[in-house]
Amino acid sequence: MSFISLIWNSIIMKPMINSLSLLYDLLGDSFGLSIISFTILIRLIMIPLTIRQTKQMKKMQELQPKLQAIQKKYPKKDVQNRQKMQQETMALYREAGVNPIGCLGPLIIQMPIWIGLYRA
């Protein structure tokens, strides 16, 4: 067994399997209810991440007209114009308090959980 699969199993899979087993015992030996309950529990735990992601997406949508104006300002695709466009774009992101990759953070955190749930 490789080191990565050992970490995957001990951090993701075993806690999920143990949680599902506990819910199975608590809910009267019903796999369906335990899976539904576990899914609801995971969704409740993920609510803060989902809210953060939604706020970031709304901020990004509000910035779209300004981003398009910056792109129109630099129609040529030479290296100098691209650098200026990137600098203005990053300045706009800093002003608005937006991290362009911030929308992906919650997704990256959720993916191992959902993959583990599928494989459990």
How do residues 59-103 score in pLDDT, each as one tens digit? 888 989 998 888 888 887 788 888 888 898 898 888 888 887 777
Report phi then psi at 101, rounded to 5.
Answer: -95, -5
- pLDDT at 19 exceeding the cut of 80: yes
Give the model's pLDDT for residue 1: 64
Report d(CA 88, CA 23) in Å as an integer.
Answer: 52
State pLDDT tens for residues 20-48.
Answer: 899 999 998 888 999 899 889 988 988 98
- How many helices (H) and strands (E) would you count in the chain? 5, 0
Count of domains forming the chain: 1
Report d(CA 93, CA 91) in Å as an integer.
Answer: 5
How many CB atoms neighbour CB 34 within 10 A?
Answer: 20
pTM: 0.66
Range of the structural domain that residue 23 is part of: 3-119
- Top pLDDT among 68 and 109 is at 68
Which amino acid is located at 57 in the chain?
M
